[in-house]
A = this chain, B = another copy of it.
Amino acid sequence: MSYELFYWPSIQGRGEFVRLALEAAGADYVDVARERGRGRGVEAMMRLMEGPDLKRPPFAPPFLRAGKQVIAQTANILCFLGPRLGLVPRAEATRRWAHQLQLTVEDFIVDVHDTHHPIAMSLYYENQKPEAKRRARFFTEERAPELLGYFESVLQRNPGQRGYLVGRSPGYVDLSMFQIIDGLRYAFPKMMLRLEPGIPGLVALHDRVAQRPNVAAYLASERRLPFNVDGIFRHYPELDA
């Protein structure tokens, strides 16, 4: 099956968690807003999303079109793709557990995002800088250690799983955790220097995922957008004190 991913074309953002899954599985997909031509580009994405004909409209990108279905919410998209792309084990309880972890990844993403946007998404960072500094301090000192520690403990409770969070090969949750570690290293290098010795399992997971042939090829390609200060993970040195 061929998939169409709809997401902002210039940032990794939430779309990256879906891109990583599609790429790792070697899926056939189009990153619609990054292409040109008929039915492509940001305008096409907005037209679809805001069109009055869509009975089940997304609230925001990313969303995925698979046949007649239009599916939104990152974790929901991954929950749909996981079984289809072989990125989650078969047992129903394990799939539910994977989704539970993915929703905790989502909480993590919100916390990262809010370090630079604690007041409003519609304001520039420059207009919420004092608040951002304060929130980022709690993130780097409390929240990030707590969340990373949680995922590290999940890894440690699964010695039979070859260093992956779910299953014995890298699934969508592992790909998302790779992205979290990668993004935190970009945005908060000082914090990660301090925290990484305490999360050896997650660091190893990150490296193992990055070396998977499909992932490595993707990361080296132009399809992988660079981190920048428009996405979720932003490097503002003043927030990484």
Contact = CB atoms under 8 A, between A and B. Distances in A.
Interface in A52-109: 54-59, 69, 71-73, 75-76, 79-80, 93, 96-97, 99-100, 103-104, 107
Nearest to A108: B59
A211 interface: no
A110 interface: yes
A73 B105 CA distance: 11
B114 A142 contact: no
Contacts of A114: 114, 118
A110 B76 CA distance: 17
Interface of A: 54-59, 69, 71-73, 75-76, 79-80, 93, 96-97, 99-100, 103-104, 107, 110, 114, 118-120, 122-123, 128, 131, 134-135, 138, 142-143, 147, 150, 153-154, 157-158
A189 B38 CA distance: 47
A114 B110 CA distance: 11
The 6 A-B residue pairs with the shortest CB-CB distance, nearest first, are A120-B138, A73-B103, A59-B104, A73-B100, A76-B100, A131-B131
A239 to B, nearest CB: 13
21 contacts: A54-B157, A55-B157, A56-B97, A56-B157, A57-B154, A59-B107, A59-B150, A71-B96, A71-B100, A73-B104, A76-B103, A79-B99, A114-B118, A118-B119, A118-B131, A119-B138, A122-B138, A122-B142, A123-B138, A128-B134, A131-B131
